[in-house]
Amino acid sequence: MTLLHLAWKSFLNRKGTLLMMLLSISMSVVLLLGVDIIRQQAKEGFSSTVSSTDLIVGARSGQINLLLYSVFHIGNATNNIRWKSYEAISQDASVKWSIPLSLGDSHRGFRVLGTSSAYFQHYRYGAKQRLSFSQGQAFDGLFDVVIGSEVAKQLGYRLGSSVVIAHGMGNASLMKHDDKPFKVVGILQATGTPVDKTLIVSLAAIEAIHVDWKSGVQLPGSKVTPEQVLNMDLEPKQITAFMLGLNSRLSTFHLQRKINQYRNEPLMAILPGLALQELWGMFSFVEKTLFAISALVVVSGVLGLLALLLSSLHERRREMAILRSVGARPIHILTLLILESLLVTVLSVALGVGVLYLVMLYAGTLIQDQFGVRLVIQSLNLWQWQLIAMVVAAGALAGLVPGYRAYRYSLADGMSIKL
Amino acid sequence: MKKVAVTIDDLVFNWGDHTPCLSIPKFELYCGEKVFIKGPSGSGKSTLLNMLGGVLLPETGGIRVLEHDYSTMRASQLDRFRADHIGFIFQQFNLLPFLSLLDNVCLPCRFSAKRRARAIEEFGSVEQGAEALLARLGLAEASLYQKDVAALSVGQQQRVSAARAILGAPEIIIADEPTSALDTELRDQFLALLLSQCELSGSTLIFVSHDSSLEHHFSQRAQLMPSANGGYSL
């Protein structure tokens, strides 16, 4: 208790320099824990992009490719699949529900997804949450569109806004389906998934805007007006992919095999959970690099502390001599320096954690807007506590070096005050 | 019969290079005595004090303090013995700058349970003891207690360290040129206070200085003299 008291007083006496050290170490702690929290939450957010879906089916390619375009709306399908195949498979006895997905068009950089009303009923993300509307409702009419929260926010759309869908991807698409504008009828609540950046229309709508198109261009002289299209048969001939929910999980592999061996068309069925894991695994080196960098920042902070303590040692030889004369043993001197360094690190960690939570509290929305990572404020997990323990241990270790020096000094100097 | 405080027999101390530094064939001091040891700078005064404090060990010869033979004690035992039985006053800058005046005075009692017990027995508590001793040494104003010790005058600082050395009534007080930074008037005043306080607590005082004008305050005197082999002897 005496030594802790002394260490504390000595710390207060040197607070000018030690405070800078404290700030530097606490910033490194913010970085270390911040990187880990973002990593952990990004991973959680990532793997909860799609849930409750047992199989995703698309044209035969790779499972990551299929996952990317069907769920993350990144990249394009190598091939479409026939509507008839979808109908046949979705009527399999083991299938509980199915969601057809038709991709390929866009609106000002946001993907347009053609699907059925089953999407709003059965699509689940996160902890099996379903999509909910912040305004309006699901599409009903042919030219109705439901937009994700991000789309609404960035483009400033409200219910009733008019939306023209462009053919293909990209902002500068020259070809627009501007003869058939859509009307916003629903805005979804934020999900933290790619759904936020998606415009959702019916499959029939996708069919309708392409009815007078062929091979990616509008056929000249064969314009079909929106009024005419309403009376046409708009059953799609092909879609991009579809999601399946099964009655029993046990039949997943059976159905997967069946789909993979589907004779009328080369199809592929993937288990989204497994594909998500494989995809995340591809980023693991980024994770590791970030961790290594933040760990190195901590190390440099602790080394700074070590250097500071070492350089203060000389001026402290007098204090050591005084302490020895009043009965302190060399081991006390050693302990004193370790305690001081420990004090700095413990305070740094406390400050760092405090700053981190303040950042999450006040800058959480900013981070979500900028990086798309939703930060949920939660208590530190075991690994993060272990990281903290490691930082504190490193701090104690940093005190050991000057502590040992001081120990040697105090053995050699005794009570003679050396200047 | 008087109790012996310090006995030194056939002591030789060498620095690492084997040039003799200090030799003391025979030195004896009884409890309650006050001795003035005179020596020019470089004569090994600090070495002698460090040996008496058990921090340095002699090459040959024995030191017995309060019937404890240093040569048979381990370093940690010596540390504890010093904390319990010896109070020190140094030349200057005796105080820890990061502690308050009162904390500085109480410091030895934090390291030694014996001195703490004696202070409590005598004054009721360590802090009360510190305040009482400071008052006796003419530092009674409570406003001083809150002051940064570095802001005290040298004379005040030396009185604080005297209070620190005396609190908890250690049997032996070792003073290493405590007056060298004081002017003549303060020096005599300080010395008178120190001597009277040692008298009061019955402590043995070993006072080391190069300043022979202080000699007359002491009944017993010794001198570190240059010896034939290039070192000094007592």
Distance (Å) from the C-alpha of residue A47 to the closest C-alpha of chain B? 55
Of the pLDDT bands very low, low, confident and very high (cuts 50, 70, 90), residue A170 is: low
Q: Which residues of chain B have pLDDT under 70?
A: 1, 15-20, 228-231
Task: Please report, to the nearest 10 degrees, the dihedral formed by the alpha carbons of residues A103, A109, A110, A115 taken in order.
Answer: -20
Per-residue model confidence as pLDDT tens digits over A86-137: 999 999 889 999 999 999 888 888 899 999 989 999 998 877 888 889 888 8
Distances (CA, A) of A192 to A47, A149, A365, A375: 11, 9, 12, 10
Category of A221 on φ-ψ map: left (φ > 0), alpha (ψ -120 to 50) or beta: left
Nearest 5°: phi and psi at B148? -65, 130
Give the DSSP H or E segment for A315.
none
Q: Does A14 touch chain B (CB under 8 A)?
A: yes
Cα–Cα distance for residue pair B18/B12, rounded to 1 Å:
11
Residue at B163: amino acid letter: A
| Average confidence (pLDDT) over A292-317 | 87
* Long-range pairs of A119-123 with CB within 8 A, sequence gap ≥ 24: A119/A200, A120/A146, A121/A97, A122/A52, A122/A97, A122/A243, A122/A245, A123/A50, A123/A53, A123/A99, A123/A195, A123/A243
Q: Are A98 and A118 in contact (CB under 8 A)?
A: yes
Cα–Cα distance for residue pair A54/A135, rounded to 1 Å:
29
pLDDT at A354 over 90: yes
What is the percent of chain A where pLDDT is above 70? Answer: 92
Give the DSSP H or E segment for A278.
helix A272-282
pLDDT of residue A250: 87
Tokens of A190: 């934020």
Collapse the DSSP code of A241 into the 3-class scheme (helix H, G, I; strand E, B; otherwise coil) and give the result.
Answer: strand
Cα–Cα distance for residue pair B228/B234, rounded to 1 Å:
13
Q: Are A176 and A165 in contact (CB under 8 A)?
A: yes
Do the bridges between strand B225-226 and strand B232-233 make them parallel or antiparallel, or are there none, so unpaired? antiparallel
pLDDT of residue B104: 87
Residue B75 with chain A: CB contacts under 8 Å:
329-330
Interchain pair B55, A6: CB under 8 A = no
pLDDT of residue A217: 62
Cα–Cα distance for residue pair A228/A247, rounded to 1 Å:
40
Average pLDDT, chain A: 85
Task: Please report, to the nearest 10 degrees, the dihedral formed by the alpha carbons of residues A5, B174, B215, B232 taken in order.
Answer: -120
pLDDT at A322 over 60: yes
Q: Does A297 or A318 have the greater pLDDT score?
A: A297
pLDDT of residue B220: 83
- The A residues from 314 to 373 touching B (CB cutoff 8 Å) are 318-319, 322-332
Q: Are A242 and A100 in contact (CB under 8 A)?
A: yes
Optimal mutation site among B22, B93, B96, B104, interface A, most CBs of chain A within 10 A: B96
Cα–Cα distance for residue pair A26/A18, rounded to 1 Å:
12
Interchain pair B95, A322: CB under 8 A = yes
Per-residue model confidence as pLDDT tens digits over A172-216: 555 777 777 889 999 998 887 889 899 999 998 888 887 766 666
Q: Are B144 and B101 in contact (CB under 8 A)?
A: yes
A307, β-bridge pairs: none
Q: Does B106 touch chain A (CB under 8 A)?
A: no
Q: Which of A2, A7, A55, A82 is nearest to A243 (CA)?
A: A55
Per-residue model confidence as pLDDT tens digits over A42-92: 888 777 788 888 999 999 988 889 998 898 888 888 889 999 999 999 998
Contacts of B200 (CB under 8 A, 6+ apart): B136
| Average confidence (pLDDT) over A248-275 | 90
- Count of A-B CB contacts under 8 Å: 66
Least CB–CB distance from B97: residue in A13, A325, A327: A13
Least CB–CB distance from A326: residue in B91, B98, B107: B107
Cα–Cα distance for residue pair A97/A118, rounded to 1 Å:
8
Q: Are A224 and A212 in contact (CB under 8 A)?
A: yes
A246, β-bridge pairs: A95
Q: Does B98 touch chain A (CB under 8 A)?
A: yes
Cα–Cα distance for residue pair A113/A126, rounded to 1 Å:
20
A199, β-bridge pairs: A112, A147
Estimate the crossing angle of helix B101-111 against helix A2-13, to 10 degrees: 150
Optimal mutation site among A5, A312, A322, A407, interface B, most CBs of chain B within 10 A: A322
Q: Residue A321, exposed/middle/buried by CB under 10 A (0-12, 13-18, 19+)? A: buried
Q: Residue A199, exposed/middle/buried by CB under 10 A (0-12, 13-18, 19+)? A: buried
Q: Are A252 and A246 in contact (CB under 8 A)?
A: yes
pLDDT at A223 over 70: no
pLDDT of residue B127: 87
Contacts of A418 (CB under 8 A, 6+ apart): A317, A318, A321
Residue B88 with chain A: CB contacts under 8 Å:
325-326, 415
User: What do you get for the CA distance between the two ends of chain B, in Å?
Assistant: 26
Give the DSSP H or E segment for A261.
none
pLDDT of residue A240: 92
Residue A327 with chain B: CB contacts under 8 Å:
79-80, 82-84, 108, 111-112
Do the bridges between strand B20-30 and strand B172-176 make them parallel or antiparallel, or are there none, so unpaired? unpaired
Cα–Cα distance for residue pair A315/A167, rounded to 1 Å:
75
pLDDT of residue B46: 78
Of the pLDDT bands very low, low, confident and very high (cuts 50, 70, 90), residue A372 is: low
Q: H helices within A283-329, ranges in order? A: 284-313, 317-325
Q: Are A195 and A125 in contact (CB under 8 A)?
A: yes
Contacts of A388 (CB under 8 A, 6+ apart): A29, A33, A349, A353, A380
Estimate the crossing angle of helix A330-371 against helix A2-13, to 10 degrees: 60
Tokens of A375: 């930060």
Residue B207, CA atoms < 13 Å, CB-side half-sphere:
28
Work out the number of other CB atoms within 10 angstroms of the CB of residue A5.
13
| Average confidence (pLDDT) over A15-37 | 88
Tokens of A415: 């009570």
pLDDT of residue A101: 93
Cα–Cα distance for residue pair A192/A24, rounded to 1 Å:
33
